Amino acid sequence: MEYRLLGRTGVRVSPLCLGAMMFGPWGNDDRADATRIIHRALDAGINFIDTADVYSGGASEEIVGQAMGSRRDDVFLATKFFMPMNEDDPNQRGGSRRWIIREVENSLRRLNTDYIDLYQVHRPSPDTDVEETLGALTDLVRQGKVRYLGSSSYSGSQIVESQWASRERRLERFVTEQPPYSILARGIEEDVLPTVQRHGMGTLTYSPLGGGWLSGRWRKDAASAPTSSARPSARFDMTRPENQRKLDVVEELAQLAEQAGLSLIELAIAFVINHPGVTSAIVGPRTMEQLESYLPAADVALSSDVLDRIDELVAPGVTINPDVNSYGANELTALARRRARP
């Protein structure tokens, strides 16, 4: 497997990052099976694992920590904080110094390690100064508990603000950004990817299969297509024209993949990691079969003809259903649109 530089850190990581969100009660609660999947990924050359404290209430971190064992130093380990860990306590969440200093110790314990390679803010916060968050994270780096810092789902302007704050306040900076990216959701090409490239950051993208749309599981006029009753969110509401359009595009992409001698999954993941601004794509298997279907994409180089056809189906910078965007979530609030006053 060809390894890539993670921004300007000097660290080299695999183009596929093993996402651990599905390990635990949220997905595969068989810890022995999850461990086998992790070991298979490491044996295949993946040296990058991403998890978060909130995944299955900490169970994902525990599974990853147990599975790494003696191979800990061979893994570039990333986790995240920010999401609520206790719905009854408003302070067990967010980007405050108070919570960061407490929660990093919880993650270290669950991960069975004394250091985290990449500690990421899971979401931006409109209520917390970025200097507050970066100041606490800088202390963790200087204490040796964390090696590098990253952001997740930041907009272009939020990335710039954080880089400026680090420079002005002489704080550690975010060296990575983790945004959503797939053929069906290309919004980050417009601003986020150019911004991270200008700042020399690494990019690890999530949802390369578009939340399952590009897995081949759902096809137009198929009994397995998502329905409003089965998946009530706007992402899967088939009464919406955006989602009907997605089914049409998936049909075209399936044909394109077949012509290129690839599976739809391989085409989708290869598209993401072929972008020069992307370091690694997070793939989150629940089963061994799913992992095996992802691995070949690491060695796929898409031709110009294939990429041009993809651009015809979904133009660069376009997200077919804007409801799938989770980055810059605070940028278009009602207040920002002049539809409400504080």
DSSP character string of 257-324: HHHTT--HHHHHHHHHHTSTT-SEEEE--SSHHHHHHHGGGGG----HHHHHHHHHHS-TT-BSSGGG
CATH, domain 4-213+273-299, list 3.40.50.720, 3.40.50.620, 3.30.70.260, 3.20.20.100: 3.20.20.100
Give the orientation angle of helix 264-273 with respect to helix 241-259, to 10 degrees: 100
Task: List, run by run, the mean pLDDT of 10-residue segments along the chain (342 residues).
Answer: 96 98 97 98 98 98 97 97 96 97 98 98 94 98 98 96 97 98 95 96 97 84 53 70 91 97 98 97 98 98 97 95 66 54 48
Length of the chain, in residues = 342
User: For this structure, is 119 an active site residue?
Assistant: no
Decide: 155 and 123 in contact? Cβ < 8 Å.
Answer: no
Spell out where the chain has E strands: 4-5, 12-13, 16-19, 48-50, 76-81, 116-121, 146-152, 174-178, 202-205, 280-283
177 Cα distance to chain centroid: 9
Tokens coding 83: 């999401």
pLDDT score of 336: 54
Catalytic residue among 55, 119, 181, 327: 55
pLDDT score of 339: 55
Q: How much is the pTM?
A: 0.92
Measured CA distances, 125 to 102, 312, 328 (Å): 18, 36, 10
Residue 322 identity: P
Which residues lie closer than 8 Å to 126 by C-beta, 6 or more apart? 330, 333
pLDDT score of 1: 84
pLDDT score of 338: 56
